[in-house]
Amino acid sequence: MKQARTTLIIITTGPGLTLFTRPVTSWVDGQGIGDGLLTLFIRHTSASLLIQENADPDVLADLRDFFARIAPKAGPYRHDAEGPDDMPAHIRAALTQTQLSIPVSGGRLDLGTWQGLYVFEHRDRPQRREVVLHLIGD
């Protein structure tokens, strides 16, 4: 059994989804592990990870708009230490995921044809996000 670990830096452009499938697949390809499990973990409380459709940009826009409706900036929040987008970002992150697990077969991620890996940025400004990758297998 082998293990490998790295941290990717993903620069977001503000609210919405940032595709980062390519650097993940490139890293997995270079690890020499044929079959195993990849775990991804984002080290933040105001952004999250999603596996989502990577073909139609309307899906991403609709997701962003939906989360803006269910956790609006104008809510009556106690926590606003970092501005009006702070607490809504925490709520959106709580409703999504900070960790993903993806099987690896034949040295490749077992993603479906239309699936991509995204950082879902919940803050209003661009951010530098850290995503930890851990691969285990043979």
State the pLDDT at residue 131. Answer: 99
| 124-127 contact pairs (CB < 8 A, 24+) | 124/14, 124/15, 124/83, 124/85, 125/14, 126/11, 126/12, 126/13, 126/14, 127/11, 127/12, 127/44, 127/47
CA distance 71 to 35: 39
- Average pLDDT, stretch 6-24? 98
- Is residue 120 scored above 90 in pLDDT? yes
- Is residue 75 scored above 90 in pLDDT? no
The residues, any chain, with a CB within 8 Å of residue 119's CB and separated by 6 or more, are: 10, 12, 17, 18, 20, 42, 47, 48, 49, 129, 131
- Is residue 4 scored above 90 in pLDDT? yes
**Percent of the chain, pLDDT > 70?**
100
- Is residue 80 scored above 90 in pLDDT? no
pLDDT in tens, 48-71: 999 999 999 999 999 999 999 999
- Is residue 98 scored above 90 in pLDDT? yes
Instruction: Indicate the average pLDDT of the chain.
Output: 97
State the pLDDT at residue 95. Answer: 97
Residues facing 120 on adjacent strands: 17, 48
- Is the full-model pTM beyond 0.85? yes
Find the distance separating the first CA and the last CA of the chain, reported in whole Å: 5
- Average pLDDT, stretch 29-45? 98
The domains located in the chain, with CATH, are: 2-137 (2.60.120.460)
